[in-house]
Structure 1
Amino acid sequence: MKTFSEVLLAALISDAVVALLLGLLLKSRTERIAHEIRTQYEQLATTFRSRFSWKEKALAELLAPLHMQLNRTERAFRRYAAGNLYLEARILKEGNEAIRNLLIEKGYLIPLELLPDADRLIEHYDIWLEEFARVRDAAQPDLATPFVFVGPQGYPFPRAAADRFQQLYQQLWREVYGPAS
């Protein structure tokens, strides 16, 4: 017959083995969960960095220059006075070309939902520039030559499309740089 101390020792060894096995199982499970969390975190961080990088690039290369040119041409259009050929030929033409070229050259930075708006703007600027070339380049313009305006003749400025680009510019600016102070 076993003595009490032998039974106690066997129970302690048995409990120690069970505790060791449970500890190893829990450690393995904890390590697996920690690895899964690290992997998920890294995936989320990569996605965040990628989206943030796209936002910065879209702002710097497309939306900020587009914003400035849209504002510039809008101000020029509001100031237009009959016979101001410089305003029309320099500011509006340069601005309209710059906007069209930005949309074409930086199309990869345009979100899918704004592609139809980009198409409308490009079409408008193409028509305006064609008309400008017809009116201004074909003849020697003078103060009597009418302002190049394609709205009533066929394709008015797509204001809503321009506004959506301006809204995206403001939204991304706040997301990247924070609210204006």
Structure 2
Amino acid sequence: MQNKIYLHASAILAANQKIYQHIISNLDRVPSEIEDEVLDIINHYDIWMLQFREFEKLKKPDLKDEFIFYHIDENCAFPKDAEKTIFNYYQQSINTFHE
């Protein structure tokens, strides 16, 4: 991300909150084959949003202020493997549907 200011970080937070709520609202529709991966994504968002809010309270930034925070540990980095597994699962489902 090039423009690492609070304005853009806030927009990312808002988007992440919408994604998170969509996932939580539809947990009953998650296929068992990708449950673990979805939980990895939820865990990531839980940790990321908590860290965001803590950093926000600490810094009290203006919209134009630099806003970069680093993960406390490696367990909260975005789970790229889970994302890939979920994407591939749904891509395969779509391809099967169109056959």
Partner residue in 2 for 1:122: 42
Please point out which of 79, 82, 88 is paired with 1:167: 88
Distance in 2 (CA, whole Å) between partners of 1:148 and 1:172 is 37
Distance in 1 (CA, whole Å) between partners of 2:20 and 2:69 is 17
Distance in 2 (CA, whole Å) between partners of 1:87 and 1:96 is 12
Unaligned runs of 5+ in 2: none
Q: Could you say what secondary structure the match of 1:124 adopts?
A: helix
Query: How far is the alpha carbon of 1:137 from its aligned partner?
Result: 4.4
Q: Could you say what secondary structure the match of 2:69 adopts?
A: coil
Unaligned runs of 5+ in 1: 1-79
TM-score by length of 1: 0.46
TM-score by length of 2: 0.78
Q: Could you say what secondary structure the match of 2:77 adopts?
A: coil
Query: How far is the alpha carbon of 1:83 from its aligned partner?
Result: 3.4
Distance in 2 (CA, whole Å) between partners of 1:148 and 1:164 is 27
Deviations 1:71-92 (A, max 9, x none): xxxxxxxxx12533222111x2
Greater radius of gyration (CA): 1
Which has more helix, going by share of residues? 1
Amino acid at match of 1:159: K
Distance in 2 (CA, whole Å) between partners of 1:82 and 1:149 is 16
Query: How far is the alpha carbon of 1:109 from its aligned partner?
Result: 1.2
Deviations 1:110-162 (A, max 9, x none): 11121111111111100100011111245421424x41342xx2221111111
- Number of corresponding residues: 95
Higher relative contact order, structure no. (Cα contacts within 8 Å, ≥ 6 residues apart): 2
Please point out which of 9, 27, 32 is paired with 1:112: 32
Q: Percent identity?
A: 21
CA RMSD of aligned residues (A): 2.0
